[in-house]
Amino acid sequence: MKVGVVGTGMVGSTAAYAIAASGVVSSLVLIDHDSELARAQAADIADAVPFIGAVSVQDGDYADLNGAAIVVVAAGVAQRPGESRLELLGRNAGIFADVIAEVLAFAPDAILLVATNPVDIMTAVSTKLSGIDPARVIGTGTILDTARFRKNLGRHLGVSPQSVHAHVLGEHGDSEVLVWSSAECGAMPLDSFARQRGCPLTDTLRSEVDENVRQAAQRIIAGKGATWFGVAAGLARIVRVIALDQHEVLTVSCMTTEVAGVRNVCLSLPRIIGAGGVEDTLMPGMTRAELEALSASAQLIKQTTDALGETYST
């Protein structure tokens, strides 16, 4: 399987390395408007290949995406001093208009994996611009937030995060919703498991976990300027699930016809992912408060998307 990565900054290049190390792709193409950067990143990853497997890694241009099954879009620009969030979104939407047109010209059947923030908005933009089946346009969404939620719960319970089944839904951002009511561990409701382990889920603990999940990115950014390892691992996981047609449930962002009273919005819900992209979308059990929070999150995303204007709204 051939995979392309457009945008080779820290997120794109780290994702490319993680995908190369996954052992499920045969060819990896790195593209960037800064061709020297793409060339250097490809050469650096290629030097690691003898230690991690057998994958062809090269820099290139869009024509080299011919036959690619998946293209990771990690392109975008940083916010300028004094620039509003909406202005930044407009500039990134303009960049995506060029990128997606070029990608689909040479890889019309590719699944698009969107990593650029704000990822839910950029996934909506990508869906509109591409005109392809929305099931083939997937944003990383809350896959990382969900991992952080499970990590924090696993630490409290003294178990592996992989034994914890809990989801963060909605926006990848401040309005995200940690769904406690349907969380499980060891095939048991989370509350019951925690009581048996002697570490109950107190209100204080819930508040600490919520704060840790919501503020994780800001703490990392304060220490090193940006985050990239977590989201890169998430992208590699999505690529693996698609490449191996694993039908795995992941909390990713995709155009959703209706959720919590909001229509045609990109946000994260548990979705079954396979070789063709999103196969189905699930709705976990939620309390009234959680459902209201999800509706508020969906409305916020929808309002921001629509504010970009008709060119990019859905």
State the catalytic residues. 172
Residues 6+ apart with CB under 8 A from 215: none
